[in-house]
Chains A and B, each alone.
Chain A
Amino acid sequence: MNIPKELKYSNDHEWVKFEGDTAIIGISDFAQDSLGDIVFINLPAEGDQVTAGEVFGDIESVKTVSDMSSPVSGTITAVNEELTDAPEKLNADPYGAWIIKVENVTEQSDLMDADAYEAFCKEA
């Protein structure tokens, strides 16, 4: 299980990378592994507002579908459209395949550091 040290994690298995005022969000290695082969991702639009803890899209694998909840509140300034045509990138490189970038972050859910998240995954 790959859990990079420099990232923060939500209990919905999203990772967040803060770069100044911007939060970059994706799903963790654990998440992609549990989902199995990802076949489709439902992305929000640039300019949409997201709220911490609320759903902003969903991911489909062959036999299941999973909501993605935003770990932060703010405005979506970029969406990784590449994933629409190549959702398998989420399986191959979960930390490279970012999903959305959020700016003007006003609040965030309780996030874990890598060690805490590793322990969290072990429990699950």
Chain B
Amino acid sequence: MKLIFERSVPGRKCDILPACDVKTVSLPAGLARREAPTLPEMAEVDISRHYTELCKNVHGVNSGFYPLGSCTMKYNPRIDEEMASLPGFTGIHPLSPADSVRGCRAVLDTAQKYLCEIFGMADCTFQPAAGAHGEFTGVLLIKKYHESRGEAQKRTKIIVPDSAHGTNPATASMCGYTVVNVASAPDGCVDLEALKAVLGEDTAGLMLTNPNTVGIFDENILEITRLVHEAGGLCYYDGANLNAVMGIVRPGDMGFDCIHSNLHKTFATPHGGGGPGAGVVGCKDFLAPFLPKSALMDGKDALQVRSFAGTFLVVVKALTYILTLGKEGIPEAAENAVLNANYLMQKIKGTFKPAFDRICMHEFVLDLSDFKKETGVSALDVAKTLIDYGMHPPTMYFPLIVHEALMLEPTETENKENLDAAAEVFRKLYKLGFEDPEYMHAAPHHAQIARPDEVQASRNPVVRWAKA
């Protein structure tokens, strides 16, 4: 389809602003723009159709199954959107006087109370704008803690399992820590002996997700956190995988000291094609004094990871969700997320091979390395063929400890016949791999585009449109 710039016709416009009702002031030449920017010139109807056409080339949760592992693509309830568009929330300036924003405070205080209860933590901040941003904040809390005890110089290492999300080591680096990668046991769980070997006086902390990235709950979790604490380190919980356990077991009770949770995953706020997210960070009491503040709102010389109080409207959506589900609904969602994952794994079993043939949590990993050896068809080929069936492919090639991995997370908001249908597609593709591998190498065949040339995109990047 055309770019919006290619639809532009000189002289077309939308009439939005009235004439200026005060004396017009203009900038002196030295400060003024030399040349107008090239922006689209379009009528409203044409803009509307352009964006409607763009929307046709998007697959959202509302379009169909979206089992993208580790991304928790559950249904985003409409009421949450409606509440976040209330003028009583959208029209509030972040620097409004305290007595005029009692409602915003109530939202943040209530969300804080409930999320802390779900996390098993004492306090939290809504400043972080996404999961990685939350990780950064959480590890900074660890850094501040060691500093407050005069151990900043000594504790220089963060331990990260090799099965971790790529953000974990990047985060540790951003916080000035040396990353110690520790090999996982074959099931993706922490290898206690390997952990012991790297723990010491230089340990600042451990970053871990549980259930781990292959979807298995680490039964040694209490021992793991105990060992880290014994060495004087703190434990950070990567809450990307909270959906399996919310309301069942709490990261705080597992021994973690701080946590981030992606409201745009577990708490059903939409991901908007890449953002906005919200990465609330919870912590135990002793870390609370280090939580970030806003220099302008709170006037304190504290940590600050973005402007103002955070992604407030996303918190509104998450709070609406939590209020709706409540005490019973939260664990119900978790249980059904786990049930759906196990059911789907069960239905696929016998064709593609689960990397770990045991009860999983909210997600599971298929290991296609044997399939690839036999057919030449890779995990990528399978993913691309799934697109032709109107299904969003699972997460590919992650975690790194499984070769030819496809990671599926169906979430609790898929019904049984959707899971049956998805399993049927996987069975079909398994057969197709043996019958017509060429077809799968060239897939997708009926999508918006055929496979893109990524080499060209990265070798000679074209990242903006330019006038011909």
Contacts and interface: CB of A to CB of B under 8 A. Distances in A.
Touch between chains A and B, by CB atoms below 8 Å: yes
B459 interface: yes
B455 interface: yes
Contacts of B148: none
B454 interface: yes
Contacts of B458: 39-40, 60, 62
Nearest to A87: B459
Contacts of A62: 454-455, 458
Contacts of B455: 37, 39, 62
Nearest to A85: B460
Contacts of A88: 459
A15 to B, nearest CB: 23
Nearest to B458: A39
A62 B454 CA distance: 7
Nearest to A37: B455
Contacts of A87: 459
A37 B454 CA distance: 10
Nearest to B397: A63
Interface string B438-457: 00000000000000001100
A61 to B, nearest CB: 8
Which of A39, A40, A63, A87 has the largest count of B CB atoms less than 10 A from its CB? A39
> What's the interface size class on B, roughly?
under 10
Interface in B259-310: none
Contacts of A60: 458
A62 B455 CA distance: 6
Contacts of B454: 62-63
A85 to B, nearest CB: 9
A87 B458 CA distance: 11
Contacts of A63: 454
B154 to A, nearest CB: 26
A62 B458 CA distance: 7
Contacts of A37: 455, 459
A37 B459 CA distance: 9
B34 to A, nearest CB: 30
A112 B75 CA distance: 58
B379 to A, nearest CB: 13
Interface string A27-69: 0000000000101100000000000000000001011000000
A89 to B, nearest CB: 11
Interface in B360-379: none
A87 B456 CA distance: 12
A103 B7 CA distance: 57
Contacts of A40: 458-459
A82 to B, nearest CB: 14
A17 B464 CA distance: 42
A88 to B, nearest CB: 7
Contacts of B459: 37, 39-40, 87-88
B332 to A, nearest CB: 39
Nearest to A62: B454
B68 to A, nearest CB: 18
A59 to B, nearest CB: 12
A33 B285 CA distance: 53
A60 B461 CA distance: 13
B35 to A, nearest CB: 29
Nearest to A36: B455
A37 B455 CA distance: 7
A23 B135 CA distance: 44
A41 B455 CA distance: 14
A87 B454 CA distance: 15
A37 B456 CA distance: 10
A37 B460 CA distance: 12
A77 B458 CA distance: 29
B170 to A, nearest CB: 13
B181 to A, nearest CB: 16
A110 to B, nearest CB: 25
B396 to A, nearest CB: 11
Interface in A55-105: 60, 62-63, 87-88
A77 B370 CA distance: 49
A21 B225 CA distance: 55
A62 B460 CA distance: 12
A60 B454 CA distance: 13
Nearest to A63: B454
A88 B459 CA distance: 8
A40 B458 CA distance: 8
A63 B378 CA distance: 16
Nearest to B454: A62
A60 B458 CA distance: 9
B462 to A, nearest CB: 13
A86 to B, nearest CB: 9
B439 to A, nearest CB: 23
Given A63-B454, A88-B459, 10 more contacts: A37-B455, A37-B459, A39-B455, A39-B458, A40-B458, A60-B458, A62-B454, A62-B455, A62-B458, A87-B459
User: Which 6 A/B pairs are nearest by Cβ-Cβ distance?
Assistant: A39-B458, A37-B455, A39-B459, A62-B454, A62-B458, A62-B455
Interface of A: 37, 39-40, 60, 62-63, 87-88
14 contacts: A37-B455, A37-B459, A39-B455, A39-B458, A39-B459, A40-B458, A40-B459, A60-B458, A62-B454, A62-B455, A62-B458, A63-B454, A87-B459, A88-B459
